[in-house]
Structure 1
Amino acid sequence: MSVEVDLLLQEAKESIEAAQNYRSELQQRLHGLNQARKQVRGSSGQARDALRRHFTELQAATARLLTERLDALLAEVDAIEADSIKPLDDCQSVIEHGVGQADELLRDGEAALRCGLGEKEDKLGSFTKKALHIQLDSLPEVPALADVPSVSAQLDDSLLGLLREGVSRHGSVSSRPPVQIEELQERPGGVLVRWCKVDEDFAAADYRLQYRRSSSGGSQYEDAYIGRDCEFLVLHLDPHTDFLFRVCARGEGRTEWSPWSVPQTGFTSLNAHEWRPGTDGYILSSRRNIALRNDSTHTRCPVLYSNAPSYYCGQTLTFKITAVGLMDRLDSLGVCIDGDQQGATLQRDRAVCVSTNGAVFVNGKEMTNQLPAVTVGSSVTFDMELVHLIPHNNHDGFKLRVTIGSGNREVVFDWLLEHTADCLYFGCSFVHSGWKVLVF
């Protein structure tokens, strides 16, 4: 009987645990559903506000433009009227003056006719002289109606049709942005952001990536990348800090950007790669991720190693050359098991590297395959993955699959190690000054 009770108790416990897990899963789904509802309602509210704000500004701007155009046309009418009326006013003044003279002459003539015989001869003589002086046969010219302006306004009713057509096509509403963030991968001191189009009908000419701290609600997004690529490594991020990333696109032949994608939260738990300070012959940037080979020492320059073994298999390590000097066959960029060996090159045992002339070395031996020589702007990448254990002198060894890329070429080989290496140092060495390299 006790066995049956124990079984029932066990089944009950399992059922209770299953019910708890079921309830937890359902609660998580409810939370996700609430987040989805919040996104729909929140984005809808933001879209309404954006539409109202835009069309209110558009209405005000349109009214202002129409008023300015009306004022300009009225000013043209005023100017034409003023220029045309002036000669007419001048002509009217001349005619009115003549009418006054004629009235005065008529009065004088009538008075001369009414005067007595004793005065008549003098009055009539004076009147005749006055009439000759006025030149009664000379009349001012009055312009014909066809010769003076007839002001009119030409108004094209097609403007309303054009406005109606333009307004009917102005703006759009979409249920989702044309691009979305597809993946966020943590990298040392940064996050690799990948995105993709979700609207196949949208012809993207450029993409725009922005980011900001997630905890700083009032902070502004910063541009991280604008270009045609669908991925970008955002560097100089503080580890263990959440950042929000968003992306948008610009269509072919368009100037405006599309709506932003739904912001995604990403972070890195990996500290940024740093060069080791205090190595003779090298000057480091403030973040210690850029090293410059200077000419402060006349001795053969040693290898500049990383500050710690910060490269892990499965990651991509990149050296970007931002300035160059004279090449030497001992110049090296690569990774190694230890970062304390003295020497002037990484072309040694327990290291893999590539020279500035493109030669690849594994444990100090040059391979037959070669990469392009590095120039300003070149990026040399190292990718490694653990393949499997191999027998080695009566004990297990390790094999790393190494891929070194430079330009548009890659070299792939297996690197045999006696002991496992969870993390590796990286390093560089340049014989001549002028070389500058960024690591990330």
Structure 2
Amino acid sequence: MPASSENLSIGIDFGTSNTVVAIADQEGRVEALTFDHQGKDLKVYVTALCFWDERHGNGIRTEIEGGPWAIDQFLEGLTAHRFIQSFKTFAASQSFQETRIFRERYRFEDLLGAFLRTLARHGGSRMDFAARNVAIGRPVQFAGTHPDDALAMSRYRAAFGKLGAEHAHYVYEPVGAAFFYARQLEHDATVLVADFGGGTSDFSVMRFSRSGGVLRAEPLGHSGIGIAGDSFDYRIVDQVVSPRLGKGGSYRSMDKILSIPNHYYANFARWNQLAMMKGSGDLKELRALARTALDPEPLEKFIDIVEYDLGFALYRAVSSAKVALSANDETEFRFQGEGVDIQAAIARSDFEGWIAGDVARIAGAVDQALENAGIGAGEIEKVFLTGGTSFVPAIRRLFVDRFGESRLTSADQFESIAYGLALIGQAENPERWAVGRH
């Protein structure tokens, strides 16, 4: 696709773990925007931020990097820094008002705006939001216990608007994936799209037809749930890691023996919350507990993980174990750093027991999408699966049992949503697909 092409549209899949940007032209050609990082062209921009202080003249200024450059800065660790990941999970949270990073306070829209500025800087001239037709993905239901949809969208609009995307169209993420998949269809079909992200699982039922060579689409029903890849990670941390860091232990208060509060471990097992623990009061409270704990050593290891910013290394270890369990009946979990050494064998059967409740709730959301569409499972001709969690065997079985192996298909786990969003930007009436417009 020529870089000078006019009338390009941009599709942005801002994800919990990864972000992808796609560019489409009027001829229907679409490609992922690539980022030149250490001589490699990356199509996936890690959804992460790193803040650090740097001296400029007689003063100190906070610098910010995003994506793989944030990870580089974090791993170098030459100065004090804050590393934040999975912050999309805070989008619809009323309880998350702000976090303090060095001398400044950041609301969710400030974090998102900072991230988007790094994305635009590394993306180059084609990331001109003001001059392009922009379609931005959003979950059917945001993550969180009581997600506030209106709050999340106001935060999105504030952050994207400051970059010139005031008139962007916000589209359900599985609808974007459906548009990407529909280009493969050779006949009319009713399609269920299942999009598994880091924070949410979203489902859309779409009816596609062709008339006069023009692809037409009708949305029949949607549903979503705040359970996805990060929830499965939570189960591994909760079952394998936290018990080795003092979970279930006790401390002495006056003349009483009390249980160590579980909420520290609930925060620890969620990547977005773990990234904030160092800047909250949790670390100070954990140190106080360690001084009175009956067995302080596990708590001291917990403190070291937070104090030395080992959350990203833990995230990698947990993700590696989860991926391994998709291909093997058992894997060896291994996490090391700053004197903390955790090893444990994990059987797939145990993992599937831990996530059974999550899988059941995901199954309920699939049924809800069908109910909202007013159709039965037998009327679905194709099921399009996208997202890394779709490779988890328990999730795969859920769809095989309901729809049969022959009706399942999948594509690139990262790029399909962004591609479809960019194509929607080139549609005759892209506003038709904006949430709340149909």
TM-score range, shorter chain: under 0.3
Q: Report which structure shows greater RCO (CA 8 Å, sep ≥6).
A: 2
Normalized per residue, the structure richer in helix is 2
TM-score (norm 1): 0.25
Which of the two has higher C-alpha Rg? 1
